[in-house]
Every structure is written in C-alpha cells, then in structure tokens.
Structure 1
C-alpha cells in the first residue's frame, strides 16, 4: 500500500490529494448506504450502478456518467445508487438489492480485465464472490462492457470462466461495447450463453445525442493523448523507439500548421512529455485526470481533431461529433473503428515503421475535416439507433 501511495505522489503530486479524496469517497459511499439502510430501514427503491465512480482517469468519469445519462434520457430519471465495482460486494448489499432494486446495472468500460483488482473474487473487475452472485435475485443489465485483455497478456484466473458464465446467465441484457469483445468473450461461454451477448456501443460515442453541447470549435488544433500504463504490453519494440517515431509524426503535423494539445487522461500519461519535448515537438498540455464530465465534454467539443491512444481519448471526441485518428496500442481501438466501418482511421503503433501510413491516412482528414465530421455524425446515428433498441429491450427489467 505504501509503495502505491509513493508511486502516485511521484506521478501526480498536484492531483494526488483530489484523487485520494475521490477514492476515499468511493470506498466510503457503500458504507454510508449500508449504515442508512440499517438505521432507517428504508423501503425506497433504487437502481444500483456498479462502476468506477471516482476521479483519476477522465475517460472513466465520462463513461460512467454517460451510462446513467443515456438510460435516464431514454427511460426517465432513476434513483441511482453508485456502487464501486472493484470493492468486495458484501452479503448485505445483495440482500438490499434483492429487496429494493428492480435490477442491477453493471458497466460499462473495460471491466473484463484481470489485473486491475488484486485478488479479485471473480477473476475480473466486478469483485463479487460467486456464492453471492448466485444469491442475486434481480436481473443484471451489463451495459457497454469491454473485453480489455491486452495482446499477449496472461490468461484470466481459474475462477473467471465460471463467474462470467453465472453473470451472463443472470443477465436480462449483456451488451459489449465492440464486436471484438463479443468474439473474445464468447470463447469462455457455451454457445447458448454466447448468443446472449449483444453489441452495445459505449455511451460516450453518442454524447451529443443525450447531452446539450454549445461550445465554439477551434481551428487547426489537434488534441493528442498517449497512454503509458502497461507499456510493456503496448509497445512491442520498446517505449523509446515507438515514442521517437510518434514524435516524428507529430512534428510533421505541426509543420502542416496544426497546433497540438497533449491531453492527460491518467497521471501516467505524463511520462511522454519529456520524450516529446526532447524530440523538439511543440505542444501545450491540458491536464484532465480530475476533470468533471462537463469539463471533459466541453474540452473535446472545441477540438476539431483528436489523435488518441486511449479508448475514451477517441470515443469521447467522436461522441461530441469531431474527427478522430487512432494510435493503436490496444486491440479495443481497432475494434471500435471496425464497428463503425472506418478501419483506415488508425495506425498500429505497437511496432516501428508506421510514419508513412500515419501521413498517408491522416492527410485526407487534415484537408477536409468537415467532411469527416459528417462521417462521424452518420456513424453516430447508427450507434444511437441501436442503443435505443437495446434500451427498449431491457426497459421492462427496470420497471418494478
């Protein structure tokens, strides 16, 4: 624990206190719910939302708020109870849900990942023991969940297969945020349960459909997000060589008259800043680990083009209607582009030798950003229509 605190201080000395307070609040919130239930004995209904409800990664902030906003937009306001997905679920939590909740909303985000929760009871991020999961009497709504395992990453723990099987068996709806996740997760399921998996895009990809946006757009400004967590899995040829080529790409972009803003979603993203500066890349920095939903949305709404390595460093800009170009170091970015029929909006940066492809594929976007914004709007319409159909499918489970 002490080692993690010291590492967090080094990564983000100025943001450490707000992140620590937010994390403490997330851990204390369910304790407050349990105390209130015990003292007041309320019969008030609520809708539990298991997710990451704290600051520290602005993509998570945008994601989990968007999940609640789009469900409320389509079905009316709910009384939400925010539950931390990574904290161990207790018997009293399940008893209260069985008594007072119509269903349980899980996700979205890349919850199907083995290493974010040490000693997880499930083998993935939802930290509920199998025996408690079996006691759950209310249907699960899995919404826009991602299979987030990296290429070459170790296999899930032994309990994962049985746990994910039970989770999906208890689900009234289980939506995965890309078709690549559906294919990957299906390998752990029987054909009958695999057939229950549905394509449900991340709600951040359609923010403009449920959240008002009125921000003037800048000209010839590009946001750049580079992710450094799990670097040994992201960069097969080593961090140094890959960052050097990324820097060359960014210098080419500035030579075309574009101003760069490096966006920090997670404190670890700052690792790249000295590399870029030493390579002679000109940029400013926009720091967002502790930003609110509105701050994240308004920032990206003003930026006409975003180059992103993080999933939500692409999905949020897309969701507010602006052009994107992916720097792929994780399969999920390619999954998303394949789903919207735009595989050419990317380069794979896991190995060296991508600069020529970067220039060839990005140049048409730079020449006519507005036409690419129109393509984004068309793709977003299809995702939103599908989402409305999905929500209508599980709506009966939320009425009690």
Structure 2
C-alpha cells in the first residue's frame, strides 16, 4: 500500500514525534510499500494535486495527528487547505487520525465555515477521530455529536523504534512553551512571574539532577534560556540540531529522563509513552483533559493558580516519593492505550477496504 501522510512539518518537534508514531502504526497494521510526506501547513489540495498526485500515486491518505482543529484565520477554520467541494474528488480512502481540538476557550471555538468544512470532511472520510485529550468533548459541544477519541499517535513512538541515550548523568527535562504567550500566560506580568518561579524550581532540581530544557518550536528557546540563565547544572538543548531532521534523537531524551515538566501536549504524551513520569504545566484545556483521561490529574499544575511554585514543588516531591509505583501505573496506562489503538485500527482496516 502506498500511503500519503500529511501533517505539520517544519515547525514543531512534537509534530515530528507524533509523525513517528503514525508511521509506526501504519507499518504495524498495513502492508506498506511506501509512505510519502507532505506538509499540512501550506500544502493546498487543489484539483490538480488531488487528480495527479493523491489519486494516481497513492492508495491511502492519512491526515494528522496534531492540534490541527485550530486557527480561525485559516481559510477553512482548521489546517486542511482544500475547498469543501473538492473533498469528494478524493477517490482513494482517507482517514483523519487522532487530531486535536486546539482552540482556547477565549477564542470562541470553531467558526461556522470551519464547522461546515469539518462536517464535509467527516462525510467523506473513511475514518475520522480526535485524540484523547478532551478534544472529543470540546468538539462535541460545537457539533452536537460525538466522534471517536483514540490515543494520540505520539503514544506509539516506541513501536519497533530504538532510541539512544545522549546524556549519561541523571537528568530532568523541562519543556516550556512561549508561542502565543498572551494565551498561555495571560499577560506579560504573569509571564515574568512564571519565569521567576520556574527559576526557583530549576535551582531546586539542579541540586540533584542535571536539568535539560527542551524547546519544541523556535519561540520556546528564549524562555528556556531566560529560566536557565546563570543556574549551574543546566542546559538548553540545541534546537537547531534537532529541528527537524534529528527529531528522533530529541524523542530519545524523553525516554531516558528521570521525569519531565511539560507545558505542551506532546511534552506530556511522549514521556508517558516511555513510562517516564511527567508533571503537566497546564496552560490549555487539552493539558488537563489528557491528565484526567489517563487518571494522572494529581500531577497537573495550572499556571493560573496563585500558589503555582509551591504546588509544583509538592508535585515533584510526590512524584519522587511514589516514583516506582507511578512507573508501574504508566505501564498499565500504556497497555490500555495499546488496546484502544488496536480496536481503532481494526475498524480503520475494515473501512478502508470497502
């Protein structure tokens, strides 16, 4: 089977990680001849591309995962650049796999044109699903119906894929987000307060671990450097090296970390896939949604709470005190995620062979 995979390329290490997971699943469940890639962020699925590339050269189109149900400024209210009336011109099966509803509450949700476009997509897709971070509920509130929620493909970065340990010392990974700061922090003052508090937490951790900061997008570099500045036993990884042809090496850092503090969805998801404990630094509904879904809400801290620093330190202490029990809990969680994914692919294989 010749497969065209379209997802978000050339911007976010987390998207590359989920891309690894998607391809691992495709090779596990399908007879793959080749997997081609195209960037969902910018690729226009016009009539020529559909007719001469998609329909002629491939047997299956896979869209996602990633937080692609987002962006009221996008022509269709989400990332897929295809005219609504052209969707039916795709003659091969296509699936939308484990995508995220990424609108902040303050944005007011999907615009009407986006709802219309998504409904047309669902009508023609062989399979349409969202990821297990509360996207099902948030999407359902706008559509009035439920679509399947499945484990994010980033949970499957470990399938038949080997990663090397790059850092010998015991280390903690801190993954901070700095794009859309007005949404993540609320104001410049709150961002500055967050940095001050994270510096204290970093100093606290650096006494016992090496602390490695892991920016996922270019905007994350500056905040990581601000927090790490002048604190011994810390480093900010070389984003330019990882971005993006060495993203698999970045994923490996999550596997061998003692634990992770994460501000992004895939900063949560990837370590969980490796049974690496994570504390979620909640700044979007999806962060809490994922931790609730997995029964890990005790290890979620909202950036908005007044006692953020104190609460985070308490969570770190609880994580360390329950470390091995927590890793066992992650093993059970991952067994469940694999089972859910197996069920999804049983249905997908039935649908695309019709």
Q: Same fold (TM over 0.5)?
A: yes
Contact 2:7 2:40 (C-alpha < 8 Å) held by counterparts = yes
> Against the structure 1 CA distance between its residues 218 and 317, is the aligned structure 2 distance closer, same or farther, given a 3 Å change threshold?
farther
Please report the RMSD computed on the Cα atoms of aligned residues, expressed in angstroms: 2.4
Instruction: Report which of the two structures shows the higher radius of gyration computed on alpha carbons.
Output: 1
Contact 2:71 2:103 (C-alpha < 8 Å) held by counterparts = yes
2:257 maps to: 303
Contact 1:327 1:348 (C-alpha < 8 Å) held by counterparts = yes
- Residue 100 of structure 1 deviates from its aligned partner by 5.3
2:60 maps to: 103
Question: Is 1:325 the counterpart of 2:276 in the alignment?
Answer: no
Contact 1:179 1:339 (C-alpha < 8 Å) held by counterparts = yes
Which SS does the other structure have where 2:148 is aligned? strand
Which SS does the other structure have where 1:208 is aligned? coil
- Residue 185 of structure 1 deviates from its aligned partner by 0.9
1:91 maps to: 47
Aligned residue among 243, 248, 251 for 1:290: 243
Which of 290-299 and 280-289 deviates more? 280-289
> Against the structure 1 CA distance between its residues 283 and 213, is the aligned structure 2 distance closer, same or farther, given a 3 Å change threshold?
closer
- In 2, Cα distance between equivalents of 1:49 and 1:219: 37
2:158 maps to: 208
- Residue 186 of structure 1 deviates from its aligned partner by 1.4
1:147 maps to: 101
2:36 maps to: 81
Question: Is 1:240 the counterpart of 2:192 in the alignment?
Answer: yes
- Residue 82 of structure 1 deviates from its aligned partner by 1.6
- Residue 258 of structure 1 deviates from its aligned partner by 2.3
- In 1, Cα distance between equivalents of 2:349 and 2:247: 25
- Residue 144 of structure 1 deviates from its aligned partner by 1.1
- In 2, Cα distance between equivalents of 1:310 and 1:48: 27
- In 2, Cα distance between equivalents of 1:210 and 1:182: 29
Question: Is 1:348 the counterpart of 2:302 in the alignment?
Answer: yes
- In 2, Cα distance between equivalents of 1:139 and 1:122: 21
Contact 1:235 1:351 (C-alpha < 8 Å) held by counterparts = no
> Against the structure 1 CA distance between its residues 165 and 156, is the aligned structure 2 distance closer, same or farther, given a 3 Å change threshold?
same
Using the size of structure 1 for normalisation, the TM-score is 0.79
1:13 maps to: none
> Against the structure 1 CA distance between its residues 66 and 278, is the aligned structure 2 distance closer, same or farther, given a 3 Å change threshold?
closer
> Against the structure 1 CA distance between its residues 232 and 179, is the aligned structure 2 distance closer, same or farther, given a 3 Å change threshold?
closer
Which SS does the other structure have where 2:214 is aligned? strand
- Structure 2: gaps spanning 5 or more residues: none
- Residue 351 of structure 1 deviates from its aligned partner by 4.3
Matches within 5 A, 1:1-400: 46-54=2-10, 56-86=11-41, 87-96=43-52, 97-99=54-56, 101-114=58-71, 120-178=74-132, 180-191=134-145, 194=146, 197-213=147-163, 215=165, 220-236=170-186, 238-255=190-207, 257-277=208-228, 280=231, 283-288=234-239, 289-291=242-244, 292-399=246-353
- Residue 262 of structure 1 deviates from its aligned partner by 0.9
Contact 1:206 1:380 (C-alpha < 8 Å) held by counterparts = no
Contact 2:155 2:270 (C-alpha < 8 Å) held by counterparts = yes
